[in-house]
Amino acid sequence: MSRKRVVVGVAGGIAAYKACSVVRQLAEAGHDVRVIPTESALKFVGAATFEALSGHKVHTGVFDEVPEVPHVRLGQEADLVVIAPTTADLLARAVAGRADDLLTATLLTARCPVLFAPAMHTEMWLHPATADNVATLRKRGAVVLEPASGRLTGADTGPGRLPEPEEITTFAQLLLERSDALPFDLSGVKMLVTAGGTREPLDPVRFLGNRSSGKQGYAVARVAAQRGAEVTLVAGNTAGLADPAGVHVEHIGSAAQLRDAVSKHAPDANVLVMAAAVADFRPAQVATTKLKKGGASEPSAIDLVRNDDVLAGAVRARADGQLPNMAAIVGFAAETGDATGDVLFHARAKLARKGCDLLVVNAVGEGRAFEVDSNDGWLLGADGTEAALEHGSKTLMASRIVDAIGALLHSGMH
């Protein structure tokens, strides 16, 4: 990505220290980062820290460096404004259009995407005044992240915790990658997403698995939640990925456990996204003790049996009327070409065989799709439509997948 001008605003909350990581990550990504703290923010983190991380002087008022007119210029020139943390007070001042310090003046002059990352006590976040302010900013086109739930100041816990810096910078990068805004268009939608690889036990220490990292499924869950959906994520092996903010996560191990979790949550869901890499086979017998070389337990062969096809099962259940709320089912296909046909040939056949509404297709191979941070592919529709998904971050690809899901829901396909 080309070098962009990013303004990071920092409001006065205890989570201001996390802004240091946001600034560092954006600067390390190659962007020109300017930090604008409020006076209250500097009570938590000193100006010297932000100056060292960004390489720019830090000011809070509109009367600093007046000849450069920073209260107008910074907003005009920015490609993105990120406010992390955003306090309840700053949300209110942004909604009112205040311009009583350098940060709020910059917000008024910015015509680029604006990303707010709220952090406050649960009572403040849930207060009707804050809810109205968030709704107003979203209606104006700003992106207001849902906060995480967890430990707050003191012994309090609940929603209102600042999302982790990696999550904030992920959405910052997404807004820089997308050529359009990120809408808040899935309010009221219940989405069930599966992610990661399953592990099929062979003995107490060994298993059959695959190379899926879970990053693409996590990205879909993360983007959907920040577009307003109520998301449940069924996660297999995901190599220690942090749970996305605002998402209910249920961790499983085997294909059978994933099947049971989907069966439990699918009746309430409007959308099912099967991004998990579910093992097609499992060992017919699971040893109760470790298999050893040279001993009586050393296997000469491993017999395999088929696992249930969870995606096909969900399609059948909907057709049978068991999933009355299910409006869209999305499958994933990791394909390679062979002597009988290319990737798309096999993907089209899989879409017809599975009967889902959308199929996300990835060409896989060394350094492609699995265990990497970028992706590309195709999106095939049951109506015969085909669209290329351009190469980019997995979060960008997730946002395009969620775009297609939103269009499907709003078209009233089912």
Query: Distance between CA atoms of 308 and 279, rounded to whole angstroms?
Result: 9
Helix, strand, coil percentages, rounded to 5, for the chain: 35, 25, 40
Query: Distance between CA atoms of 251 and 237, rounded to whole angstroms?
Result: 8
- Of 214, 215, 245, 250, which Cα lies nearest the Cα of 232? 250
| Pair 152, 161: CB distance under 8 Å | yes
264 annotated as belonging to a binding site for a ligand? no
Does 325 participate in catalysis according to the annotation?
A: no
Beta bridge partners of 331: 274, 359
Give the C-alpha distances (Å, rounded to integers) separating 171 from 163, 222, 290, 292: 11, 9, 45, 48
| Pair 338, 363: CB distance under 8 Å | no
Tokens 């990504």 found at: 29
350 annotated as belonging to a binding site for a ligand? yes
Q: Which of 133, 210, 270, 375 is catalytic?
A: 210
171 annotated as belonging to a binding site for a ligand? no
Tokens 């959907």 found at: 224
Residue 189, phi then psi, degrees to nearest 5: -90, 130
| Pair 192, 235: CB distance under 8 Å | no
Residue spans of alpha helices (H) in 196-301: 215-226, 255-265
354 annotated as belonging to a binding site for a ligand? yes
Query: Distance between CA atoms of 351 and 273, rounded to whole angstroms?
Result: 14
* Three-state SS at 103: helix
Please report, in range form, the residues annotated as the binding site for CTP. 280, 290, 332, 350, 354
Residues labelled as active-site residues: 210
Please report, in range form, the residues annotated as the binding site. 280, 290, 332, 350, 354
